[in-house]
Structure 1
Amino acid sequence: MDIRLLRHPSVLAADLMVVLVGVGIYPLLSLVVRYVQTPAGAGYGFGYSAAFAGLMLVPYSLASFAASRVIRPLMRRTSLELLILVGSGLLIISMVVFLFGRSNLILLLVSMALAGFGIGVIFAIHPAQLHAGVPREETGSANSFYQVLRYVGYSLGSALSATLLVATIPPGGSLPSEVGYSAAAWLGIGVLVVGTIVASVLNLHVARHPVDVLPRPERVRS
């Protein structure tokens, strides 16, 4: 992808937000799975098996699939900017539920479902934003660049959350303290709030000052 195409606000909004969403919400998947496997003797956790912990991802997957079905007709009747805010809000709420309600298994499942639905909404809308800002012949490369940024966000979020957990392992211990989970949740909430603000500012700019698809930049000839 020609980086100069990022000059279009809708393209920049989608690309920036996917990184921040990856950093903010992806750690929730590993945090929940690890939390429910932690032996209760640690002062938190449920001591469930790895197989049961894996089932905690089911609400996330189902809700993400459902969102992709629900959001498509809404995209024709509702502004993309509003739908992005709804998706972002669900992600923030899911992290808040994990932060304050993770000692309750039902609330953990609710947190995962909210995260899955929010992700489904955002990932369904971003391609439309990309296609609105790049020439037709550049849509393939724009989508590929978007996917790369998506996994960059995932990797950063996973590394940061793991670092926070490891940093709270007491001397001589093998398990992180519960403070590490709270710190990771607060980090996710903060990053998601920043992502929502950035996307809102850029999308508001597009709404107030519509910009046509930028022409394909001409290559410099030597």
Structure 2
Amino acid sequence: MSTPAPTGRSRAVVAVLALGGIVATVVQTAIVPLLPELPRITGSSAVDVSWLITVTLLTAAVSTPLLGRAGDMYGRRRMLLLSLASLTAGSVLCGFTSDLVPLLIGRGLQGVGAAVVPLSISILRGVLPPERTGSAVALMSSTVGIGAALGVPLAALLVQYADWHAMFWATTALGALVFALTWFTVTDVPSDEPGRFDVVGAVGLSAGLVALLMAVSKGGDWGWTSARTLGVIGAAVVVLLAWGRHQWGAASPLVDMRLVARPAVLLPHLAALLAGFAFYANTLVTAQLVQAPEGTGYGLGLSVVAAGLCLLPSGVCMVLCAPISARISAARGAGVTLALGAGVIAAGYVVRFTDSRDLWAIVTGATIVSMGTALAYSALPMLVMRAVPMEQTAAANGLNVLMRTIGQAFCSATVASVLASHAHDFGGGVVAPTLGGYRTAFVIAGTAAVVACVTACCLPRHPRQPRPEESEIVVGSPQEQSARDARTAAADAPGGTGPAA
């Protein structure tokens, strides 16, 4: 067990790690205002340019669980610095080029920064006293939404009033700053996780995730029923099934499938996927909605900068909600916080469905969704940490963040498909989605939030962490293993009493 850091130093650690989470998200979202101009800048097609978003999503999905597992085995601070270094190097590369291929490589390197959040959460668990862990983890979790709310307007300002490369030099400076602060401020958390790194599992997971997310991200361009899309989806299913079988029998698995299969761990991962889906629709739709031409009858015709500023109240409210969520979790449990957060998200989409014509209503609805997201995201790592042993914290939280990423990818594809199917010619050369298309997206996202709320209500109230011998692949006879599994299931059931006899 690590010794908690002194109060003054622990506050500095929390501040540095939270800044790192914000910067990692800002880097991922900063390119959004530049997308309309990138085909002209790079001399490429709009379809090719869209890979600047897709490649970041792919590398984020692959690196998050891999660096999480490596952090548990070889040091979380070391993997955190590696993630920040990759993020900074990618920004430097993008700042020096206007060609598509180097930009793609740079964006791929930036995507590795997604591992900052789960690695930071695992570090916080090791260096903070229990009474401060909840509020710090809540703040760390909310950095994902804060970074998204800040990244778009700040990048839009740079793109509009400076050379577009300035955006990447700004993220380079931020990445270098956080790397230096982390180097001098954050100490490592000792890890006693045994075994070797599962190279076969890492390759299998990477291949399966790349295939799955590529199909989800590009299915709209390729055609959802095309041979290419169906083939990639089929390959993803085959690879991931084979990977799961390998993990179940591996001596030192990348992901402990026996642990993941427990309801106390599985349900938070499912809720993370649903919450990621519900949250991302808010970010995707808001900017498009307020920038729609006034000729549509509902659009406000705002500029890119003004549209980005509409998200600022969301970021501010997420910061304010972090300590509130920690207090709710301490008083009522993280499961209650997750259910409440999902319910608030659903309520926000009710507001958005009711009025999507007035700016104040749009900003209010978006802010309510973000407040619910802050509550839900802060509860998820707490739920994971209470159900897994200390030596698997980074890997388990990495998998939870991966589920959010997959939810966001599915949301992106779903929203794009819905809006495209509701495209209408409003005359005067204005072709845009109808208001009904946006409302359909709100209904889908709100439904995902409701299902996340139901999932939270099904969480076991008093989960127990597995004893060390229960993580072994072979423990006793088949009859003894079956009896152990039955006791675990009883303890994990809603209303279970915790430790089995």
| 1:214 alignment partner in structure 2 | 466
Contact 1:36 1:47 (C-alpha < 8 Å) held by counterparts: yes
CA offsets 1:46-66 (integer angstroms, 9 cap, x no match) = 001011000111111111111
Paired with 1:147 and 1:19, the residues of 2 have a C-alpha distance of: 9
Per the alignment, residue 387 of structure 2 pairs with: 133
Structure 1 residue 78: deviation in Å? 2.1
Alignment partner of 1:113 is 2:367: yes
Structure 2 residue aligned with 1:165: 419
Q: Deviations over 1:165-221 (max 9, x none)?
A: 0011136962111111011111111121112112212x2xx12xx33112452246x
How do 1:69-218 residues align onto structure 2 when only pairs under 5 Å count?
A: 69-170=323-424, 174-201=431-458, 203=459, 206-207=460-461, 210-216=462-468, 217-218=471-472
Partner of 2:285: 31
Contact 1:62 1:116 in 2 (8 A): no
User: Which range is displaced more, 68-77 or 83-92?
Assistant: 68-77
The answer to whether the Cα contact below 8 Å between 1:85 and 1:200 also exists between their aligned partners in 2 is yes
RMSD: 1.7
Q: Secondary structure of the residue that 1:170 maps to in structure 2?
A: strand
Task: Output the CA distance in 1 between the equivalents of 2:286 and 2:463.
Answer: 42
Alpha-carbon offset, residue 93 of structure 1: 0.7
Deviation at 1:104, TM superposition (A): 1.5
Report the residue type matching 1:27 in the other structure. A
Distance 2:320 2:467 in 1: 36
**TM-score, normalized by length of structure 2?**
0.41
Identity of aligned residues (%): 25
Q: Which amino acid aligns with 2:302?
A: Y
Report the residue type matching 2:433 in the other structure.
P
Larger radius of gyration: 2
> 1:20 matched to which residue of 2?
274
Structure 1 unaligned residues grouped into runs of 5+? none
Q: What number of residue pairs does the alignment pair up?
A: 215
Q: Structure 2 vs 1, CA of residues 8 and 125 (structure 1 numbering), >3 Å: closer, same or farther?
A: same
TM-score by length of 1: 0.90
Deviations 1:61-92 (A, max 9, x none): 11111111222233222222322221111100
**Equivalent pair of 1:91/1:114 in contact (CA under 8 Å):** yes
Structure with greater contact order relative to length (CA < 8 Å, sep ≥ 6): 1
Residues 337 and 375 in structure 2, CA contact (< 8 A), matched pair in contact too? yes
Contact preservation (8 Å) 1:63, 1:117 = yes
Partner of 2:309: 55
8 Å Cα contact 1:8-1:211 kept in structure 2? no
How much does 1:118 deviate?
0.9
Distance 2:443 2:287 in 1: 18
